[in-house]
Amino acid sequence: MTDSGVFEVAGQPAHNRSERVKQLAELGFMWADLEEEPYWIDQIVTMNEDVYNELEAAASMLWRIVDKTVRYIHGNHHIYHLIGIPAILWEMLDRCPIPEEGLISRYARFDFAVSHDGAIKLLELNADTPTGYVEASIATPWLCRQAGIRSVNDRMAGLVAEAWGVERPDTAACIGYGEHLEDSGTIEALVRHSGLDVRLVDCLDLWVDEGVLRDGDNREIRRMFALYPKEWMSVDEGGDALAYAIETGNLALFNPPHSILMQSKGLMAAIWGMFELGLLFGPEEREAIEKYMLPTYNKPVFSGNFVSKSMFGREGGSVKLYDNSGELEVEDQDGYDTSVMFPTVYQQRAELARIRTAEGEFHLLTGLFILNGTPCGLLGRAGGLITGNTSHFIAIGVK
């Protein structure tokens, strides 16, 4: 067992990895190995219970802050522009009713930097199309049970069932359904946990006919969950037609349209700006922002030790890290750089804890899912200074 302050890495990889990979696949986690490379690290990180309790409380407060901010900026096109919301989506956002408090997104994930000494800093929020659900909701509890370690992820499936019981989508979609293992497995797990009869389709087979969304069999789709980033509507062929179907009420999309306001990393800059100006937030909220958020701006105001990234970057794409002297230290080479399409945001750097595993030494990114408005599931990603799409999954339990 290796010690990294608030984290410990427990156990050693089992000798029968291939058998365990097969067992995980039978449970629904089919990409433990990708192209014969180990994506899953067969060990478990344990987090100190006091730190986890603080993390959960911080996530609850930050979720309320984000929700409050989105309601405050809703309909303000000047702020839409500042946080990179494509203009083609503005009418959709203005015309669609904003969901009830705390439920603008029912399926989201915070990503935190938790340091060796337990300092918690929010890096970003994926409130639109978070992946890692299967790793967190299926693999992590199973692995923790086998190791005799407490998992805090057991509520995830039940919360999905609650959320989908309200949304009641008739269709779930992703790009490359049946071909892209991770996205296909994610929507399959969500549908299974929902307990509903939901049809699974490929987004590339969908088309819009006079404002009505249809699948490849010409079946009407009225309520759809989609692992489809909403900002893509501004660049994809037919994206404007999809937005029209939503804004005219012919299609209810989940997560709802307003989740893109949460998704933009520019919202972190908006929150920080209002915090500095003394606007909107009360004393308790201001205390949480100061303690758990990082100074974030839409201009490069830092002299050094900062990060730049696209407001709609995913899987580490477009991320650049600058050192104390302001020189570029490292940049992502694997993810798709969306900074050519969307504005850039600048954020103070935060320290990620380092863990020593059988696969090597890594930085640990701590994800925490927010399902149906409730913090409920840890996701561990082990990688380099930038946690991109070549990082590893490692289960996190609580000690």
pLDDT by residue (tens digit) across 205-250? Answer: 999 999 999 999 999 999 999 999 999 999 998 899 999 999 999 9
Would the CA dihedral through 3, 4, 6, 8 be positive or negative?
negative
> What proportion of the chain, given as a percentage, has pLDDT over 90?
87
* Average pLDDT of the residues of the chain: 94
pLDDT at 4 (0 to 100): 52
Residue 193 has pLDDT above 90, yes or no: yes
Token duo for residue 364: 């640990």
Token duo for residue 232: 């893509």
Residue 316 has pLDDT above 60, yes or no: no
Reported confidence tier of residue 1, pLDDT bands at 50, 70, 90: very low
pTM: 0.94
pLDDT at 66 (0 to 100): 98
Residue 314 has pLDDT above 70, yes or no: no
Q: Quick: pLDDT tens for 344-388.
A: 999 999 989 999 999 999 999 999 999 999 999 999 999 988 877
Longest dimension (CA), the chain: 61
Residue-wise DSSP of 158-213: HHHHHHHHHH--SEEEETTTTT-HHHHHHHHHHHHHHTS--EEEEGGG-EEETTEE
Interval 188-192 mean pLDDT: 98
Looking at per-residue pLDDT, the higher value among 316 and 12 belongs to 12
pLDDT at 31 (0 to 100): 97
Interval 61-69 mean pLDDT: 98
Q: Quick: pLDDT tens for 18-51.
A: 999 999 999 999 999 988 789 999 999 999 999 9
Token duo for residue 194: 């929902």
Residue 333 has pLDDT above 70, yes or no: no
pLDDT at 278 (0 to 100): 97
Residue 339 has pLDDT above 60, yes or no: yes
pLDDT at 336 (0 to 100): 66
pLDDT at 390 (0 to 100): 78
Distance (Å, whole) CA 62 – CA 286: 10
